Every structure is written in C-alpha cells, then in structure tokens.
C-alpha cells in the first residue's frame, strides 16, 4: 500500500483549471520527484496534500485513509510535513529555536516521551547545521535557511516529507549533500519523500520515480531514465530546463 496517494485531484480557481485529474503515489522508503515547468501546478498539488488548498475533485489518502477533509494541523499530526517554495522560517529566532518550536509542538500532541531540546540538537546535527545552531536565521544565507526549514520539518518526525524546491540557494556541494540526506531519510528511516525541484542533476540522481506535470496534468511518470527518454517530456520541460542551465 502506498504511504501517500493522490487520486484524480483537480483544482479550479474560477474558470481556470490549475490541476486536472492528477494522480500519484509515494511509497515508504522511496524518494519520488514531481517536476514540470513553472506554473505547472506543483505547489498547488502540495497545498492539496497538506490541506492548505481544498481540491475541486479527487482524494488524498495517507496509509489508505482518506484525509481529504482533514485540516492541515490534523494531517501534520498524522505524519505529513513540508517545506515551502518561498522560505518560511522565524527570522528573529536562532536555527535551534526554529527547530525547537517544531519539537515542542510535537511534544504537545505526541504520546512519545522525548526531550524537545535533544531532538532539536540531533536534527540540526543531522542536516549539518550544528555550527550555526545559535545564529539568528535572518543572518544566515538563504540556502542555509532552507536547511533550517528542513530540520524544522524533520523535528515533527513525519512519515511523509514534501520538499518544495529545497536546493534553491544551495551550492553544488550543498545540493549533493541534500540529495544524500534525502536518500538516507527514505532508505534508512523509511520516509516517503516527494521532491519538487528544478535542479535536474539533483532530481535525476536522487529520485527513484518521477511524475511530470504540465498545465496541471500528469503527462508522464516513470524512472529517471524513462522520463529522460520521453519525447513529450523533453518537449514540455527537459529541453527548456537544459536551455535555462546553459
């Protein structure tokens, strides 16, 4: 059974179809990718999964349970965490305090017994941020801020992790480290990871399975090699991505 399943989801804004009949599954232990041109509906689909945007039609299932009608905080408690395309951190707080907010929130509803401070420190170490733990986030580079946001999401101990352009602002080495971390989170910890990203080397080197959105529709799905060989995908996106990188 898929950890996360999106079934025939559509989203309309007035007369505009932002997403149309989109379906995808994300398995535990796998990094999957959702790619496509700007405006294809990727972030809208993330918003549907997390409950920030109600779908016009379709279902979202978590471990087989229909969660389409649940509010965002209920989905978070069930194990869905995300980062955002536009960086969302508490700039006036330190990196550690940002992560501690999530750890303390989890302690408020979790039946597990744990130290929020220890969890925050362990999570910061895991994403390579121990050295800047006491730095105010507004003073950090944007790429480092994105890692703080990732650490905050991980501090909720999710089973599903949605990452919306997490490599934005990272250099090549940092992007490589991010890809390795995503693989570890999936393969060792059993997370279901769904990655929205324009960094094609990161996507192709990290994701085991890909979905391609164009104008709100899934036009292709398959392994990275299958997606790279798909003529329609090349015409819709990969060619444009290659041109943008030259």
Model pLDDT for residues 61-85, shown as the tens digit of each residue: 999 999 999 999 999 999 999 999 8
Mean pLDDT over 34-58 rounds to 95
The CATH superfamily holding the domain 25-54+69-79+161-183+191-246 is P-loop containing nucleotide triphosphate hydrolases (3.40.50.300)
Q: pLDDT band for position 1 (50/70/90)?
A: low
In degrees, to the nearest 5, what angle opens at C-alpha 89 toward C-alphas 84 and 91?
Answer: 150
Per-residue pLDDT of 117-152, as tens digits, reads 999 999 999 999 999 999 999 999 988 999 999 999
Judge contact between 197 and 203, C-beta under 8 A.
Answer: yes
Cα gap 56→58, rounded to integer Å = 7
pLDDT band at 208 (very low <50, low <70, confident <90, very high): very high
Domain limits of the chain?
25-54+69-79+161-183+191-246, 83-157
Read off the pTM.
0.91
């Amino acid at each position: 059974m898929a950890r996360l399943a999106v079934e025939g989801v559509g989203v309309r804004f007035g007369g505009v179809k932002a997403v149309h009949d989109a379906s995808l599954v994300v398995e535990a232990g796998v990094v999957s990718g959702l790619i496509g041109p700007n405006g294809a509906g990727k972030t809208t689909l993330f918003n549907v999964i997390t409950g920030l945007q109600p779908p016009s039609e379709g279902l979202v299932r978590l471990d087989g349970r229909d969660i389409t009608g649940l509010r965002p905080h209920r989905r978070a408690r069930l194990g869905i965490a995300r980062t955002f395309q536009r960086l969302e951190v508490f700039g006036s707080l330190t990196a550690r305090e940002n992560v501690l907010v999530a750890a303390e929130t989890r302690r408020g509803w979790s039946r597990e017994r744990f130290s929020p401070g220890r969890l925050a420190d362990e999570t910061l170490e895991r994403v390579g941020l121990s050295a800047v733990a006491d730095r105010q986030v507004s003073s950090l580079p944007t790429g480092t801020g994105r890692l703080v946001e990732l650490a905050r999401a991980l501090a909720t101990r999710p089973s599903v992790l949605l990452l919306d352009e997490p490599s934005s602002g990272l250099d090549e080495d940092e992007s490589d480290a991010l890809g390795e971390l995503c693989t570890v989170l999936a393969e060792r910890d059993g997370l279901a990871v769904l990655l929205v990203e324009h960094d094609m080397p990161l996507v192709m080197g990290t994701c085991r399975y890909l979905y391609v959105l164009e104008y709100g529709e899934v036009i292709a799905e398959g392994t990275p090699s299958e997606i790279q060989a798909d003529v329609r995908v090349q015409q819709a996106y990969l060619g444009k991505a290659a041109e943008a990188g030259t």
